[in-house]
Amino acid sequence: MSALLNVRDITVAYGQHSPVLHDVDFSVDRGEVVGLVGMNGAGKSTLLKAISGGLKLRAGAVEFDGADVTKTETPELVRRGLIVLAEGHRVIRPLTVRENLEVAAMSLSPAKVRQRLAEVEDLIHALFPVLTERRKQLAGLLSGGEQQMLSVARAIVQNPKLLLLDEPSLGLAPLVIDRIYESLDAFRDRGVSMLIVEQNSDRVAKACSRLVVLREGRIVAQGSPTELSGAALNSAYFG
Ligand SMILES: Nc1ncnc2c1ncn2[C@@H]1O[C@H](COP(=O)(O)OP(=O)(O)OP(=O)(O)O)[C@@H](O)[C@H]1O
Ligand SMILES: [Mg+2]
């Protein structure tokens, strides 16, 4: 079976600057969870942006779910099931929790907002009961952890096939990180593929079956978390 995501030899630059990603080539299989790790500035966020339609490629191609999506724009990728949770807690602060979920459902189909929310209500409540309690509260008034839960809940509404996550544990307390990762396990159990960027390689190693190490815009190692641990991981990270 073909992979769900194929990133084929992509080179990416910001404007006229020199490239920050060079010939990056890897894939994510259906149902697979891949961890993407590397030092600050290695190009991890840039890679997620390039995959999700946020940056033009200088060379190479991206294929998703059997189609070339190199030039496909983000809203269309969302409808096809490629969802990105960008760095930071990306919620719409002046809207309530419920309205944030409605907007996520609208991005799929404006005519089916209520139906979609009804379909995922139980799952969201089981994972994040606090969001049901606070459904009328403005998202901007939630704590950082609650905002991150809301951004994961928005992704649940959008029904991803592939979820790209940029440092989902950043700045959160350990207990909240556990809750976020439990919700990612629930995604995985439903067959959702994931590409998870983390500084915290121990945490992501527990959640993924393969690690990809990026250094200075190039993939320098790939392997299972057991193959890539300790000294092997350190030497890939730092060169
Ligand atoms: N908008 C931009 N314009 C120009 N250069 C950028 C821009 N965003 C990032 N860069 C550069 O691209 C390189 C890779 O940055 P990127 O944010 O992808 O790294 P990262 O691996 O996500 O780092 P971190 O772990 O700190 O989040 C860096 O050298 C950065 O300065
Ligand atoms: Mg980053």
CATH for 160? 3.40.50.300
Using CB distances shorter than 6 Å, the residues near ligand 1 are 14, 17, 20, 38, 40-46, 199
Ligand 2 center from residue 46 Cα (angstroms): 7
pLDDT of residue 18: 94
pLDDT of residue 239: 83
DSSP tally for the chain: helices H, then strands E? 9, 10
Contact 50, 12 (CB under 8 A): yes
Higher pLDDT, 48 or 86: 48
What percent of the chain has pLDDT above 70? 100
Q: How much is the mean pLDDT over the chain?
A: 94
13-18 contacts: CB < 8 A, separation 24 or more? 13/58, 14/46, 14/55
Ligand 1 center from residue 161 Cα (angstroms): 26
Ligand 1 center from residue 220 Cα (angstroms): 18
Residue 96: pLDDT above 80? yes
Q: How many domains does the chain have?
A: 1
Write the residue with the smallest CA distance to atom 2 of ligand 1. 14
Ligand 2 center from residue 122 Cα (angstroms): 32
Which of 17, 20, 40 to mutate for ligand 1's pocket (most ligand atoms within 8 Å of CB)? 20
Residue 104: pLDDT above 80? yes
Ligand nearest to the CA of 20: 1
pLDDT of residue 87: 85
pLDDT of residue 97: 98
Ligand 2 center from residue 111 Cα (angstroms): 35
* Nearest-angstrom CA–CA distance, 3 and 6: 6
The ligand 1 atom at the shortest distance from the C-alpha of residue 46 is 18
Write the residue with the smallest CA distance to atom 3 of ligand 1. 14
Residue 142: pLDDT above 70? yes
Mean pLDDT of 141-157: 95
Which of 46, 52, 167, 214 to mutate for ligand 1's pocket (most ligand atoms within 8 Å of CB)? 46
> Which residues of the chain form beta strands (DSSP E)?
5-12, 21-28, 33-37, 59-64, 67-68, 82-85, 162-166, 193-197, 210-215, 218-223
The residue among 40, 50, 92 whose CA lies nearest residue 70 is 50
Ligand nearest to the CA of 86: 2
Mean pLDDT of 185-193: 93
What's the pTM?
Answer: 0.95
Higher pLDDT, 233 or 34: 34
pLDDT of residue 57: 97
Contact 174, 203 (CB under 8 A): no
Note the maximum CA span of the chain.
53
- Residues 200-233: tens digit of each pLDDT: 888 899 999 999 999 999 999 999 999 998 888 8
Ligand 2 center from residue 40 Cα (angstroms): 7
Ligand 1 center from residue 41 Cα (angstroms): 5
The pLDDT confidence band at residue 2, using thresholds 50, 70 and 90, is confident
Write the residue with the smallest CA distance to atom 30 of ligand 1. 41
pLDDT of residue 200: 80
pLDDT of residue 230: 86
Question: Which residue segment(s) compose the domain that 115 sits in?
Answer: 5-238
Mean pLDDT of 165-187: 93
Sequence-distant (6+) residues with CB within 8 A of 98 are: 135, 136
- Residues 3-16: tens digit of each pLDDT: 999 999 999 999 99
pLDDT of residue 1: 58
Write the residue with the smallest CA distance to atom 6 of ligand 1. 14
What percent of the chain has pLDDT above 90? 90
pLDDT of residue 229: 86
